[in-house]
Amino acid sequence: MKETSIQECEECLAPAEAFSTIANETRLSILEALWTAPERPVTFSELRRSVGMRDSAQFNYHLGKLTGHFITKTEGGYDFRHAGKKVVRAVLEGSFNEDPELPSFGISGACTDCGAGLQAAYADEQITIDCTACGRIHSRYSFPPGGLNDRTREEVMDAFNQRVRHLHCLAADGVCPECNGKMETTLRRAEEPDVAATVCVEHRCAQCDHRIHSTAGLKLLDHSDVVTFHRTHGIDLCATPYWEFAWCVSDEHTTILSSDPWSIRVTIPLDDEELRVTMDGDLTVTDVETFPTGTPADSRTTA
């Protein structure tokens, strides 16, 4: 783990000290009480009453340990600093203290290989989508346990769809969805025989080493030309789960034009037309063309 920023910041806490500070039931209770307070800042007496600690001196000791890094003291009482909110959100997310599972259940869409139905399951903080017949995996991404709370299975999948879209938008734009560090994108030819993609896209954070792997097509879900092309064919791309599009979950419609430098083309067929989108090694769109279905790849008759 890098500690450059800690060495340069005289008032920052070292990671071990930061975790030891909040590894206390009373201090977590203080953060929870501050979070659930109807209004902030919250006075000392109101916080102590919410936590339920009679010993004022002992409560003040724990409150002092949090003040400065996790919470701040104002004229009106106590309020959160960003680090304090992150702690509470991490608890609510459930990654620290929950490990739920959901058995397989049917979802919308059909297998891009055999046409059978799809199913989803939740385990190890991931949602996996695969085919009910051939077992082909169409998607597998992280989903914090807190995302399961107060949602039906359909609502969970709607949330998962939006989460994956936003994760890849951030990653492709160079922002790590975990730590906000610099994310770099690289392409390589798939070498594993059980991988459906012929082109592997990897987004890697230079700061925390968080990595996201995907097909090239996922980058196009919010591209204006792709959205418009689907709209003209009566499809709301934003409202349709990404796993229902073959060009998002496999490389069936992806062609490698060059690997030095990288140039790839994703072909999106709809009715009697197909949209051909060319991207470079950074997944930047360099060309978009619409053709009648079946037009040879080297034709340039339609803009």
**Residue closest to 113 by CA, chosen among 84, 136, 145, 130:** 136
Binned at pLDDT 50, 70 and 90, residue 22 comes out as confident
Which pLDDT does position 6 carry in this prediction?
Answer: 39
pLDDT at 157 over 50: yes
Which pLDDT does position 294 carry in this prediction?
Answer: 79
CATH class of 4-93: mainly alpha
**Burial tier of 168 (Cβ tally within 10 Å: 0-12, 13-18, 19+):** buried
**Residue closest to 206 by CA, chosen among 182, 240, 230:** 182
The arithmetic mean of pLDDT across residues 141-170, rounded, is 92
The CB density around residue 118, as the number of other CB atoms within 10 Å, is 23
pLDDT tens sequence across 250-259:
888 899 999 8
The arithmetic mean of pLDDT across residues 48-52, rounded, is 92
Tally of CA atoms within 13 A in the half-sphere of 65 that contains its CB: 19
Averaged pLDDT score across all residues of the chain: 86
The arithmetic mean of pLDDT across residues 103-113, rounded, is 93
Which pLDDT does position 232 carry in this prediction?
Answer: 95
Binned at pLDDT 50, 70 and 90, residue 24 comes out as confident
Taking the C-alpha atoms of residue 25 and residue 122, their distance in angstroms, rounded to an integer, is 30
* Radius of gyration of the chain from its Cα atoms, rounded to whole angstroms: 24
pLDDT tens sequence across 232-251:
999 999 999 999 999 999 88
Which pLDDT does position 302 carry in this prediction?
Answer: 32
pLDDT at 267 over 80: yes
pLDDT at 269 over 90: yes
Any residues with CB less than 8 A from the CB of 169 and at least 6 apart, and which? 221, 222
pLDDT at 303 over 60: no
Binned at pLDDT 50, 70 and 90, residue 12 comes out as low
Whether the CB-CB separation of 83 and 69 falls below 8 Å is answered with yes
Structure tokens at 199: 């082109």
pTM of the model: 0.71
The arithmetic mean of pLDDT across residues 32-38, rounded, is 90
Lowest mean per-residue pLDDT among 21-25, 155-159, 171-175: 21-25
Q: Which amino acid is it at 89? A: R
Query: Mind giving me the DSSP string for 103-145?
Result: EEEEEEEE-TTT--EEEEEEETTEEEEEETTT--EEEEEE--G
Give the relative orientation of helices 25-36 and 56-66 as an angle to the nearest 10 degrees.
80
Above pLDDT 70, what percent of the chain? Answer: 87
Taking the C-alpha atoms of residue 103 and residue 156, their distance in angstroms, rounded to an integer, is 13
Taking the C-alpha atoms of residue 271 and residue 230, their distance in angstroms, rounded to an integer, is 10
Most trustworthy range by pLDDT among 31-45, 77-91, 177-191, 225-239: 225-239
Domain ranges of the chain: 4-93, 220-292
Which pLDDT does position 231 carry in this prediction?
Answer: 96
Which pLDDT does position 83 carry in this prediction?
Answer: 84
Whether the CB-CB separation of 170 and 177 falls below 8 Å is answered with yes
Which pLDDT does position 4 carry in this prediction?
Answer: 41
pLDDT tens sequence across 176-213:
988 889 999 999 887 654 444 578 899 999 988 899 98
pLDDT at 2 over 80: no
**Residue recorded with tokens 């560090």:** 181
Q: What backbone phi and psi angles, to 5 degrees, belong to 89?
A: -65, -35
Secondary structure class of 172 (helix, strand, coil)? helix
**Residue recorded with tokens 């919250």:** 42
Whether the CB-CB separation of 237 and 247 falls below 8 Å is answered with no
